[in-house]
Amino acid sequence: MRFLWIYSLLVSSVFLSGCVPVIVGGGMVAGSYTALREKKIGDSLSDSKIDIEIKKKLYAIDPKLYSDVSVVTDHGCVLLTGGVSNPDWSSAAEREAWKVDGVLEVNNHIYNEEVQLSQIVRDDFITSVCRSALICNSDIRSVNYKIKTFGSVVYLLGVARTKEELELVLSTVQKVSGVEKVVSYIKVL
């Protein structure tokens, strides 16, 4: 699986050759990611804590639920995505997310369907291309956004500095090949 992720990242770098140094140097960028965001380190730690607490609750219900559901949090806004085999798990995951301190909003995009490996690879590829497209646009503060793709639907969380930046982020992501729909939970400062 790791090989497929690395392969998709390298393939995306071919299409965005002007951004190769940014992509290859991603490890160095990741260390300063929190410092560049439009929020305090305490906020980032709080979001990470929320993610961990929700994942622990999902694991307590069933380890398969834990592995099938992705949790992304930004400024207390929780995004749940994935495909589950048990029809009760979607509502259970949402219910458990609301129980965690600091959660201000829960957006449940969990579907009652098994996820194929090919879909995971395609979605990861779309996410990496979207991330690269935002990074390569100097008018967008890309570190302010979290991106999750499921079923070729791109979900965006974060904070835009202006309404114009929000529109630019949305239009940039919509132009990425393979994106069927964009769902935005981005807030404007």
Q: What is the mean pLDDT of residues 73-93?
A: 96
Distance of alpha carbon 104 from alpha carbon 47, whole angstroms: 11
**CATH code for the domain of 84:** 3.30.300.130
Tokens (6 digits) for 41: 């380190």
Residue 50's SS3 state is helix
User: Which CA distances in Å does 33 have to 27, 38, 44, 71?
Assistant: 10, 10, 10, 19
Render pLDDT for 13-60 as a digit per residue (tens, 0 to 9). Answer: 444 444 444 444 444 343 344 444 555 556 667 999 999 999 999 999
Q: What is the pTM of this model?
A: 0.78
User: How large a percentage of the chain has pLDDT more than 70?
Assistant: 77
Question: Could you tell me which residue, 21 or 79, shows the higher pLDDT?
Answer: 79
Identify whether residues 86 and 138 lie together within a single domain: no
Question: Could you tell me which residue, 27 or 145, shows the higher pLDDT?
Answer: 145
Q: Is residue 162 part of a domain?
A: yes
Q: Is residue 76 part of a domain?
A: yes
Q: What is the mean pLDDT of residues 111-128?
A: 95
Identify whether residues 102 and 125 lie together within a single domain: no
The pLDDT of residue 114 is 86
From 95, 111, 127, give the residue that closes a domain. Answer: 111
User: Which CA distances in Å does 64 have to 83, 92, 144, 149?
Assistant: 11, 13, 31, 20
Domain that holds residue 92: 41-111
DSSP 120-156: HHHHHHHHHHHHHHHHT-TTS-GGGEEEEEETTEEEE
- Asked whether 90 and 84 are in contact (CB, 8 A), the reply is yes
Q: Cβ contacts of residue 98 below 8 Å, gap of 6+?
A: 106
The pLDDT of residue 174 is 98
Identify whether residues 137 and 179 lie together within a single domain: yes
Distance of alpha carbon 77 from alpha carbon 182, whole angstroms: 17
Identify whether residues 122 and 93 lie together within a single domain: no
Number of structural domains (the chain) is 2
Render pLDDT for 172-184 as a digit per residue (tens, 0 to 9). Answer: 999 999 999 999 9
- Asked whether 147 and 186 are in contact (CB, 8 A), the reply is no
From 77, 111, 145, give the residue that closes a domain. Answer: 111
Q: Is residue 36 part of a domain?
A: no
Render pLDDT for 146-179 as a digit per residue (tens, 0 to 9). Answer: 999 999 999 999 999 999 999 999 999 999 999 9
